[in-house]
Amino acid sequence: MSSVIERIETLLVDLPTIRPHKLSMTTMACQTMVIVRMRHSDGIEGVGEGTTIGGLAYGPESPESIKCNIDTYLAPLLVGQPSGNVNALRALMNRHARGNAIAKSALETALLDAQGKRLGVPVAELLGGAREAHLPVLWTLASGDTQKDIDEAFQRLDERRHCDFKLKIGANPVDQDVRHVAAIKAALGERASVRVDVNQAWDESTAVRGIQALQDAGIELIEQATPAREHEALIRLSKRFNVPMLADEAVQDARDGLSLAAGGFSGAFALKIAKSAGPRGVLELASVAQAAGIGLYGGTLLEGTIGTAASLHAWATLPEMAWGTEMFGPLLLTDDIVTEPLNYHDFGVDLPTAPGLGVTLDEDKLVHYSRK
């Protein structure tokens, strides 16, 4: 008899960050991951991760709501269903539960991990096959202190860890933020690409002033300067400036992508499995972007190794990521809950090659960091 889903367990796992990580809406000292363990009747376990930033600071799902909504609504839908048909299970979840993209992403990841292990192939192969084995990874400078950020950037360059940097701004007055960014770009010069993420903090007129100054300072990409739902403002900014706009919170899934593209947006989309309810949904968004001539960027919600590996399997299948990836989440954390960390080297990371996601839970660490 073919395998069915037997049991789904969720755990809240809290891992400290290596330094405070300052964004426009919150400062993180710790990351909370919702880890999904999905047991199947053939004895295979699939693992998944659902992670957001700063409780409810980033979006409408919190770690606690992700866990609660999986336990109460989504797991009961899946238990007893055949294990292997990910498309049917996605449709089932979408028919009975609205929203909750991060929770659905964690479950889809666990389904794909199990199916890959069952068939003896990496998740990227289930998604059509990997075109890349090593993906570029940028680093986010967000200590809140200009000199510390400069020192951190040079350290990462010297280690050959990262050569692209994203600066989190928007928490301070615009002139102060611009001075901070311009000082870092001036210190790094041509050695590094510098981009900014405003995380929706500016209204359109502030954005016009800020972006002009950032463009003059040599910044290469401006991420989500204006509020997520103000698509028209983002489209106008993309038409006004030479420096490209990166849509992040504004583009959750393929439908948002289509609306931005149809409205005349140009630039790039930050793809995140968490926004698009999993690897399959995020690749649908990537197809819309490609059809519209919009660049791709492999984004993160600062997932740990499991969510990062799931994202890498999706990004590896894509023909070209014009802006690379930011899959550095595990490097921001003081420890890990897998037996073998991802291999970061030469300004990027290797795609895991073992079946499924290619990562294994460390049971002792999991117990240690799980919320009691």
Residues near ligand MUC (CB under 6 A) = 53, 140, 142, 168, 197, 199, 248, 299-302, 326
Is 166 tagged catalytic?
no
The answer to whether 336 contacts Mg ion (rule: CB under 5 A) is: no
Nearer to Mg ion, 47 or 196 (CB): 196
Nearer to ligand MUC, 65 or 140 (CB): 140
Q: Of the listed 67, 168, 272, 275, which one is catalytic?
A: 168
38: left (phi over 0), alpha (psi -120 to 50) or beta: beta
| Number of amino acids touching Mg ion (CB under 5 A) | 3
Query: Which 118-177 residues touch Mg ion, going by CB under 5 A?
Result: none
* Bridge pairing between strands 27-40 and 45-51: antiparallel
Contact 274, 51 (CB under 8 A): yes
Both tokens of residue 35? 């880890």
Both tokens of residue 135? 């993906």
Q: Is 198 exposed, middle or buried (0-12, 13-18, 19+ CB in 10 A)?
A: buried
Is 326 tagged catalytic?
yes
Contact 305, 333 (CB under 8 A): no
Query: Which 181-200 residues touch Mg ion, going by CB under 5 A?
Result: 197
Distances (CA, A) of 19 to 37, 142, 171, 184, 341: 29, 9, 18, 19, 19
Both tokens of residue 55? 């409780």
Nearer to ligand MUC, 78 or 331 (CB): 331
Nearer to Mg ion, 299 or 358 (CB): 299
The listed partner (Mg ion, ligand MUC, none) that binds 49, CB under 5 to 8 Å by sort, is none
Closest approach of ligand MUC to the CB of residue 201, in Å: 11
The answer to whether 326 contacts Mg ion (rule: CB under 5 A) is: no
25: left (phi over 0), alpha (psi -120 to 50) or beta: alpha
The answer to whether 248 contacts Mg ion (rule: CB under 5 A) is: yes
The listed partner (Mg ion, ligand MUC, none) that binds 326, CB under 5 to 8 Å by sort, is ligand MUC
Among 314, 328, 274, smallest CA distance to 107 is for 274
Closest approach of Mg ion to the CB of residue 53, in Å: 9
Nearer to ligand MUC, 199 or 311 (CB): 199
Closest approach of Mg ion to the CB of residue 358, in Å: 26
Binding site for Mg ion (CB under 5 A): 197, 223, 248
**Catalytic (active-site) positions:** 168, 326
